[in-house]
């Protein structure tokens, strides 16, 4: 249920509606808009009778929300959400580009790549300090040392940092040192981690699970918003299908669909979708053309030596060329 207030509704009238919702045993969530405030009714197990609200002073109308996700839905928040991270803007017509290596390997490696991607126009820097890998024998990341390197990258380049929290225990460290908390595809339905990220004071980048439907993806985002964190960025990174010509199948159709269903900004990760360097740029340009709010691209100056995902990482000169093509 969404209770839409009149444009001239007073704070007292908004509070009265909120109190009625609380008296019914539910949770009110006021959502200020450009012209009026709407109040979302949360934690109701079933349909709510609109007659509880129609007729109250300041109420314009009561609308049933048809989607199981409420805070994420464009029904409750018609304007697209814009998230600012330092000087970077995600959403609102801007095309934000997050670039960097899959994993932080050393301070020299991270700084070398960061300087190059910034010169090419990247607005945020990505790099994994904690790496959940398919094989337990693969490089698992530098851990807290990797986070400290990312802090030095930010200090030198000014680029905000995006890095993954692999569990709720690590999330404390990531929130302390990074600018954006990433939740990877393998953790999209790690509800303990989602709730912890929902209590964070930093934006959260939520990747779509490897076999997740759009509704499951949006419901995962709902967990975060329901804990109070409204700064959520969605990221399509390809889903697992029967096809083997690329690492994953990039679902570009999900971008316009999600932007119709939800007010949250949507990024695309063409690197993990392709898995092969030569296909990253075409997928990135396709993502931009269907209305993605940004891109997350892996870049490495020595991909043949990379400890993680070297074959899908663009060389800095390839990234630079892609940035110029996307601008055109």
In a domain, 265, yes or no: yes
DSSP symbol at 314: B
Residues 107 and 198 in one domain: yes
Q: What does the alpha-carbon distance between residue 231 and residue 281 come to, in Å, rounded to a whole number?
A: 28
CB 296 within 8 A of CB 271: yes
Which region holds residue 209: left if phi is over 0, alpha if psi is between -120 and 50, else beta? beta
Specify the pLDDT at position 232. 98
Residues 54 and 199 in one domain: no
Residues 116 and 43 in one domain: no
* Residue linked to tokens 């930093």: 202
Residues 57 and 155 in one domain: no
Specify the pLDDT at position 313. 97
In a domain, 313, yes or no: yes
CB 170 within 8 A of CB 125: no
Domain count of the fold of the chain: 2
In a domain, 75, yes or no: no
Range of the structural domain that residue 14 is part of: 2-63
Residues 234 and 180 in one domain: yes
Q: What does the alpha-carbon distance between residue 75 and residue 304 come to, in Å, rounded to a whole number?
A: 47
Specify the pLDDT at position 67. 83
* DSSP E strand stretches across 214-322: 232-236, 266-268, 294-298
Q: Any idea what the CATH number is for the domain that residue 137 is in?
A: 3.20.20.70
Residues 307 and 194 in one domain: yes
Residues 265 and 136 in one domain: yes
In a domain, 74, yes or no: no
| Model confidence pLDDT, tens digit, residues 217-261 | 999 999 999 999 999 999 999 999 998 898 899 999 999 999 999
Q: Any idea what the CATH number is for the domain that residue 28 is in?
A: 3.30.70.1140
Residues 249 and 113 in one domain: yes
Give every residue of the chain whose pLDDT is below 50, as ranges.
none
Residues 25 and 103 in one domain: no
Q: What does the alpha-carbon distance between residue 98 and residue 124 come to, in Å, rounded to a whole number?
A: 5
In a domain, 77, yes or no: no
Q: What does the alpha-carbon distance between residue 16 and residue 30 come to, in Å, rounded to a whole number?
A: 12
């Amino acid at each position: 249920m969404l209770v839409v207030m009149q444009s001239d509704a007073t704070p007292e009238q908004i509070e009265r509606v909120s109190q009625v919702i609380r008296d019914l045993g539910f949770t009110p969530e006021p959502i200020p808009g450009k012209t009026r405030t709407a109040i979302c009714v949360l934690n109701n197990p079933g349909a709510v009778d609109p007659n509880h609200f129609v007729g109250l002073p300041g109420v314009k109308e009561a609308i049933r929300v048809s989607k199981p996700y409420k805070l994420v839905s464009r029904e409750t928040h018609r304007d697209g959400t814009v998230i600012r991270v330092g000087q970077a803007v995600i959403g609102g017509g801007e095309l934000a580009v997050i670039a960097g290596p899959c994993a932080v390997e050393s301070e020299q490696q991270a700084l070398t790549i960061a300087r190059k991607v910034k010169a090419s126009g990247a607005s945020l820097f990505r790099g994994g300090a904690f790496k959940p890998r398919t094989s337990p024998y693969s490089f698992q990341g530098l851990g807290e040392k990797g986070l400290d390197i990312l802090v030095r990258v930010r200090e030198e380049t000014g680029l905000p940092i995006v890095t993954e929290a692999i569990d709720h225990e690590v999330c404390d460290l990531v929130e302390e040192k990074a600018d954006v908390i990433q939740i990877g595809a393998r953790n999209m339905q790690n509800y303990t981690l989602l709730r912890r990220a929902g209590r964070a004071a930093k934006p959260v980048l939520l990747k779509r699970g490897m076999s997740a439907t759009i509704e499951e993806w949006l419901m995962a985002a709902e967990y975060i918003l329901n804990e109070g964190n409204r700064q959520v960025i969605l990221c399509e990174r390809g889903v697992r299908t029967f096809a083997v010509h690329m690492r994953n199948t990039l679902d570009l159709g999900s971008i316009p669909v999600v932007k119709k269903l939800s007010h949250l900004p949507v990024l695309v990760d063409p690197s993990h979708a392709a898995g092969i360097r030569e296909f990253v740029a075409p997928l990135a340009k396709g993502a931009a053309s269907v209305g993605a709010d940004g891109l997350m691209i892996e870049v490495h100056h020595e991909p043949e030596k990379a400890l993680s995902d070297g074959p899908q990482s663009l060389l800095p000169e390839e990234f630079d060329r892609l940035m110029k093509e996307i601008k055109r």
